[in-house]
Amino acid sequence: MIDDIWNSLREVRAKAPLVLNITNYVVMNSTANALLAVGASPIMAHSTEEVEDLVAVTGALVVNIGTLSPPWVAAMRLAARKAAAVGTPWVLDPVGVGATAYRNGAAAGLAAFHPAAVRGNASEILALAGASGAATKGVDSTVRTEASIEAAAKLTDATGSVVAVTGRTDYVIFGDLRRAIHNGHPMMARVTGLGCTATALIGAFLAAVRDPFEACFHALVVIGIAGEVAAERAAGPGSLQMHLLDALYAFDRETLARRIRID
């Protein structure tokens, strides 16, 4: 297990895969930096004039709807369709789905293009499962982890995607395959976009490792451990963000083996 995760990270570092990100304005800098720190090579682009050309040469595609608008959604759809057509793995981050009808429609439309993986928090996964016609009925307005796991399972059945639900504990779900990751630190919730960063790292691992379940699982272990290392060094969320990039860059097998907490 530890060797598998460590080998995946080594693959990312050795291959330095190109990862195309059509992502939100808030996290463009921080996720590009996380991808560089982990050893990948990020490109950020969003114009319908070129996203298909870029998908053709990239190792993986990351689509994140955080600050969506119609021209961006059009580019996301073109890129996702192209990725599905040419077999480039891609990951969907349905940021804020459930908050507005516009997000629900955009996220459900993208989910139909067969993402290899979907990552969201519990309420997003519940909402996306609902928008995709896969939700349990009568979900409580207070999101319970159990309900989101059930929704994730239905979403993975409906879409064929690995689904990652992140929070205090992270879950990776695909059919009968299930993993729970207990790494991370509560202060990570006070840094903007660390969920988006997890999604970007999943993109890097998809490009290097190919198996979507392994890619999600291994990427979440790596960011969880790097985040807890960073939080222990930090005086607050400002220094946590900085230490996180340093910890991803310096991530070693010994830290992985000592800190990993999964079941």
Interface mask (CB under 8 A) for its own copies, residues 225-244, using x and -? ---------xxxxxx-xxxx
How far is the C-alpha of 56 from the C-alpha of 176, rounded, in Å?
A: 32
Q: How far is the CB of 44 from its own copies (least distance, A)?
A: 5
Specify the residue, 22 or 117, whose C-beta has the smaller distance to its own copies.
22
The annotation places the binding site at 44, 119, 166, 193
How far is the C-alpha of 53 from the C-alpha of 163, rounded, in Å?
A: 27
Specify the residue, 172 or 200, whose C-beta has the smaller distance to its own copies.
200
Our finding on whether 50 is near its own copies (CB under 8 A) is yes
Our finding on whether 103 is near its own copies (CB under 8 A) is yes
How far is the C-alpha of 139 from the C-alpha of 194, rounded, in Å?
A: 26
Specify the residue, 44 or 180, whose C-beta has the smaller distance to its own copies.
44
Our finding on whether 47 is near its own copies (CB under 8 A) is yes
Q: What are phi and psi of 29, to 5 degrees?
A: -70, -45
What angle separates helix 194-209 from helix 2-15, to the nearest 10 degrees? Answer: 80
C-alpha to C-alpha distances, 212 to 182, 200, 205, nearest whole angstrom: 20, 13, 8
Binding residues for its own copies, total number by CB under 8 A: 55
How far is the C-alpha of 119 from the C-alpha of 175, rounded, in Å?
A: 16
Q: How far is the CB of 121 from its own copies (least distance, A)?
A: 13
Q: What are phi and psi of 55, to 5 degrees?
A: -55, -35
Tokens of 48: 């319908």
Our finding on whether 7 is near its own copies (CB under 8 A) is no
Specify the residue, 37 or 143, whose C-beta has the smaller distance to its own copies.
37
Stretch that binds its own copies, among 26-34, 118-126, 132-140, 149-157 (CB under 8 A): 26-34
Pinpoint the alpha helices (H) of the chain. Answer: 2-15, 28-38, 51-55, 70-86, 101-111, 122-131, 145-159, 194-209, 212-233, 237-250, 253-259
Our finding on whether 74 is near its own copies (CB under 8 A) is no
Interface contacts to its own copies, rule CB under 8 A: 24-30, 32-33, 36-37, 42-47, 49-50, 53-54, 57, 66-71, 96, 99-103, 189-193, 234-239, 241-250
